[in-house]
Structure 1
Amino acid sequence: MKYVIGVDLGTSAVKTVLVDPQGKVAFEHSEAYPLSRPQPNWSEQNPEDWVKGTLVSLRRLIETSGVDPSQVDGISFSGQMHGLVLVDSEGKVLRPAILWNDTRTTAQCRKIEKTLGTKLIDIARNKALEGFTLPKILWVQENEPEVLAQAHQFLLPKDYVRFRLTGDYAMDYSDAAGTLLLNVGAKEWSAEIAEAFGLPVSLCPRLVESFEQTGTLLPEIAEASGLLTSTKVFAGGADNACGALGAGILGEGRTMCSIGTSGVVLSYETNKDLNLEGKVHFFNHSEKDAFYIMGVTLAAGHSLTWFKETFAAEKSFEELLQGVTSVPAGSGGLLFTPYISGERTPHPDANIRGSFIGMDSGHTLSHFTRSVLEGITFSLRESIEIVRESGKEITEIVAIGGGAKNEAWLQMQADIFGASIIKLESEQGPAMGAAMLAAYGSGWFASLGECAEAFIRPAEVFKPNAEQVAVYDGLFALYQEVYGQTRELNDKLAAYRK
């Protein structure tokens, strides 16, 4: 039996999966690492923690499975997007990595907008948001100029790990699209954007396809991981692009809804000239010459976790959700907006905060729980509606992540989205997408689409209930009013947040 390994470099842990040619996960392993918040709004990690965690996870994967290292054809990666790693000419890290959820760069975002104007959307196809990489580089330029002066290349998290494993500098298009330095349509670094901020284009690594081989394992890495120096290493992709691969989003109109800490609606696109004016993200896919439209709810699953820990800490998630089906659609006139961490789509607003609207003395814990699920799903529908407005017909949506684990929530998604929701037989998310890139790169399949047919199998379909759809359509219209009615109030309240 031969295998490939998918490595998913997340924010809190690295996950490795060993996958056979039928797409079956034979073994998996995770290694956690710390997150540092040295100042308010800062979020950093030590890139060496990623490397150590990856090597430990790979070794334990091989040891636990008992697989002979010669049976592993290749490795590929999925990684947290946007994080900035600066290295010198010898590959030494110059400062801690600044992560995607670091929000210190508001001033730099305004500078980018003022400097580039409409060219930013025309070239990079995305708005300047604090999470992206270019604002982080400009923050270093302004606050730590001596660090940037030493920088030879900037890398994203998974690219740094792959560099340490192979000695090769590279970045794939799907991750490069989230830097604001890529000409997304032309698939090349934008000299115009780089030069506008006094950055040499040489700071950007060479661009490769996600399935492209970028080397083999260095001898010391092979020894530490329990693999062979001949093991092929493939570039990999951004976590959302790999999540899309792992859900089979490889054709026009195919759409995915992923609910984890954040929530993502992602739809496949082939028109490189599509310009949605930054209403949603527009990134390169891990499939060659394909793209995806993506909307993000910052606090999707996080809203449910916050609610449980704050109001029902003694209950498990299963116990908390048990009463949801006894409450009718609309939660007895209770609306929740999941803006507890600010919002991304369609409102890129760091000041907005969440609301429960319509509380009365008849509402129980189950009413509040259902309203949280409905509010998260309404927020994701806003992204779906933007995709539909671009001309796409969305009748089926693949559900992955925590939101795919509860049947009541899956049915709620079908009713709120007005589309059939497909639950997969085995859902490994970005790790499976990374494994698919390694399988395709290793020559197991003629295309990523063929790989998806072999690896991904639907388990269940939840169809929308016409009566519930009508109720939710009315409630969604009310939900959309809440942002505009509370925005000014939240701006004023921001001064009181400590």
Structure 2
Amino acid sequence: MKYVIGIDLGTSAVKAILVDQNGQLCGEASRAYPLIQEREGYSEQDPSAWVEQTVNALAELVQQFEGRPEDIEGISFSGQMHGLVLLDAQHQLLRNAILWNDTRTTAECEEIKDRLGPLLLDLTKNPALEGFTLPKLLWVKRHEPDLFRQAAVFLLPKDYVRYALTGQLHMDYSDAAGTLLLDIAKKEWSDEICERVGVPKSLCPPLVESSDQIGTLSSYYATRTGLSSSVSVFAGGADNACGAIGAGILNDQQTMCSIGTSGVVLAYEPTALLDFKGKVHYLNHAKPGAYYTMGVTLSAGHSLSWFKDTFAPDQSFETLLAEVKDVPIGANGLLFTPYLVGERTPYADAMVRGSFIGMDSTHRLADFSRAVLEGITFSLKESLELFRAEGKVITSIISIGGGAKNEAWLQMQADIFDATIIKLSNEQGCALGAAMLAAYGCGWFDSLEACSEAFIQEAKRYEPIPENVTRYHALFALYQQVYPATKQLSHGLSAFRRK
């Protein structure tokens, strides 16, 4: 039996899984690393911590493995998107990485809009938002000019880890699409964008397909991990693109809801010809020649983690959510908006903040817990409704991530989305997508679709309950009133936030 490894470099931890030729999970290991948040709106990480913890996770995975290291044929990656890693001419790190959820770049986004105008949407299909990579490059250029002058190349998070393990510098199309520097239809770095914003094109690394082999493991890291130095290393993809592959989103009849730190509603697109006018993200898929659109909730699972850590730190998630099923729809008159770090879709507002609306002295912890789950799901529904408004017919959705681990939440998704929710039996999300790219790259399958048929199985379906759909429809109308009613309050309160 042969094996591959999928590595998912997340925002809070790296996860590595070992999968055999039948798609069976044969081992997993994870390691955490910290966020660096020096002030409000800043979010950074030390890329060397990613490398060290990835190596430690791989070493644990190999130590668990009862077979021969030579039987592990391939490794591929999924990674948190948009994060800026800057290297000098010797390919040494110049600073900490600025992450996707960093919101310091509002001024740079305005600069991009002024300099590029409609060209930005024409070429990249995405608006200038704080989370993307180009605004971060311009922030460093403006605020750290000496450092910017030393920069020789920029990478995204997983690309830096892969470079460290192999010595090869590349970026795949699915991750490059999240930089605002890629012409996504032509699949090449845009000379015109680089020239207009003053970013040297020489900073952009070579582009490859997600399933391309870019090298092998260096002898140093082969020794440290216990893997063979002949193991093939594949480029991998952006976490959402890999999550889509791991959920089998490989044709235009399929839609996915993924709830991790952030949350996405993602739909497959066969071409780059559609025009969503920047209302949702439009990006290259990790499947060659394909695309996907998605709406993003910046603080999805993060909202639930924040709530638990703040109000029930001694409880497990299972205990915290155990009574949610017994709380009626609407959490006894309580609404939550998950704008803890601003919002992406549909508002693109870095300054708005979350709220509980309707609190009274009768509310208990379980009411708040249900309100948090409902608020996260309402935010994702706003993205779903943008797709439906453009004519997409969405009757079933594959749910992955933290939102697929709780029965009450899965039924809530079915009722709020008014769609059949599908739970997978071997749901490993982005890490499985990365493993599938390695399996396809190794030649185990003729296509990712064939790999999907072998690796992905459905476990259970949750059908929308008509009376619940009706009640949630009315509650969603109230939820949609909260943002316009609190926007100015949030912006005004920003002057009093912790700096």
Does 2:17 align with 1:46? no
Give the direction of change, closer, same or farther, for the CA distance of 1:226–1:343 in structure 2 (3 Å limit).
Answer: same
The whole-number CA distance in structure 2 between the counterparts of 1:81 and 1:400 is 18
The whole-number CA distance in structure 1 between the counterparts of 2:332 and 2:36 is 41
Map of 2:72 onto structure 1: 72
Give the direction of change, closer, same or farther, for the CA distance of 1:177–1:94 in structure 2 (3 Å limit).
Answer: same
The whole-number CA distance in structure 1 between the counterparts of 2:375 and 2:76 is 36
Q: 1:457: how far off?
A: 0.6
Q: 1:315: how far off?
A: 3.2
The whole-number CA distance in structure 1 between the counterparts of 2:471 and 2:64 is 51
Unaligned 5+ runs, structure 2:
none
Q: 1:366: how far off?
A: 2.6
1:148-159 to 2 correspondences below 5 Å: 148-159=148-159
The whole-number CA distance in structure 2 between the counterparts of 1:36 and 1:372 is 26
Greater mean alpha carbon deviation, residues 218-227 or residues 201-210: 218-227
* Contact 1:81-1:178 at 8 Å conserved across structures: yes
> 2:162 is paired with a residue of what secondary structure?
helix
Map of 2:198 onto structure 1: 198
* Contact 1:253-1:392 at 8 Å conserved across structures: no
Map of 1:358 onto structure 2: 358
Partner deviation per Cα, 1:410-450 (whole Å, 9 max, x = no partner): 00100000000011101111111100000000000010011
Q: 1:179: how far off?
A: 0.4
Give the direction of change, closer, same or farther, for the CA distance of 1:309–1:57 in structure 2 (3 Å limit).
Answer: closer
Map of 1:404 onto structure 2: 404
* Contact 1:122-1:275 at 8 Å conserved across structures: no
Greater mean alpha carbon deviation, residues 204-213 or residues 83-92: 83-92
Q: 1:494: how far off?
A: 2.1
Partner deviation per Cα, 1:374-423 (whole Å, 9 max, x = no partner): 11111110000111122211111111111111111100100000000011
Give the direction of change, closer, same or farther, for the CA distance of 1:363–1:145 in structure 2 (3 Å limit).
Answer: closer
The whole-number CA distance in structure 1 between the counterparts of 2:492 and 2:367 is 29
> 2:26 is paired with a residue of what secondary structure?
strand
* Contact 1:78-1:158 at 8 Å conserved across structures: yes
Map of 1:282 onto structure 2: 282
Task: Tell me how large the CA RMSD over aligned residues is.
Answer: 1.5
Greater mean alpha carbon deviation, residues 54-63 or residues 454-463: 54-63
> 2:265 is paired with a residue of what secondary structure?
strand
Partner deviation per Cα, 1:15-51 (whole Å, 9 max, x = no partner): 1111001111101111222332234432222222222
- The TM-score, its normalising length taken from structure 1, stands at 0.97
Identical aligned pairs, as a percentage? 62
Q: 1:106: how far off?
A: 1.5
* Contact 1:153-1:202 at 8 Å conserved across structures: yes
* Contact 1:69-1:227 at 8 Å conserved across structures: yes
Amino acid at match of 2:99: L
The whole-number CA distance in structure 2 between the counterparts of 1:369 and 1:39 is 28
* Contact 2:77-2:431 at 8 Å conserved across structures: yes
Map of 2:377 onto structure 1: 377
* Contact 1:253-1:269 at 8 Å conserved across structures: no
* Contact 2:11-2:261 at 8 Å conserved across structures: no
Does 2:454 align with 1:457? no
Q: 1:369: how far off?
A: 2.1
1:295-310 to 2 correspondences below 5 Å: 295-310=295-310
Give the direction of change, closer, same or farther, for the CA distance of 1:37–1:333 in structure 2 (3 Å limit).
Answer: closer
1:147-226 to 2 correspondences below 5 Å: 147-226=147-226
* Contact 1:337-1:376 at 8 Å conserved across structures: yes
Does 2:225 align with 1:236? no
Map of 1:270 onto structure 2: 270
The whole-number CA distance in structure 2 between the counterparts of 1:227 and 1:309 is 37
The whole-number CA distance in structure 2 between the counterparts of 1:366 and 1:334 is 11
Does 2:2 align with 1:6? no
The whole-number CA distance in structure 1 between the counterparts of 2:318 and 2:217 is 43
Map of 1:96 onto structure 2: 96
Greater mean alpha carbon deviation, residues 76-85 or residues 319-328: 319-328
> 2:423 is paired with a residue of what secondary structure?
strand
> 1:169 is paired with a residue of what secondary structure?
coil
Q: 1:100: how far off?
A: 1.5
Amino acid at match of 1:340: L
Map of 2:253 onto structure 1: 253
> 1:55 is paired with a residue of what secondary structure?
helix
The whole-number CA distance in structure 2 between the counterparts of 1:46 and 1:312 is 29
Greater mean alpha carbon deviation, residues 140-149 or residues 432-441: 140-149
Q: 1:88: how far off?
A: 2.3
Unaligned 5+ runs, structure 1:
none
Map of 1:82 onto structure 2: 82
Q: 1:189: how far off?
A: 0.6
* Contact 2:130-2:350 at 8 Å conserved across structures: no
Map of 2:35 onto structure 1: 35
Greater mean alpha carbon deviation, residues 417-426 or residues 224-233: 224-233
The whole-number CA distance in structure 1 between the counterparts of 2:223 and 2:394 is 48
Give the direction of change, closer, same or farther, for the CA distance of 1:40–1:371 in structure 2 (3 Å limit).
Answer: closer
> 1:8 is paired with a residue of what secondary structure?
strand
Amino acid at match of 2:272: K
* Contact 1:216-1:231 at 8 Å conserved across structures: yes
The whole-number CA distance in structure 2 between the counterparts of 1:496 and 1:60 is 46
Q: 1:361: how far off?
A: 4.0
Q: 1:126: how far off?
A: 0.9
Map of 2:423 onto structure 1: 423
Q: 1:114: how far off?
A: 1.0
Partner deviation per Cα, 1:307-335 (whole Å, 9 max, x = no partner): 23333334332222222222222223322
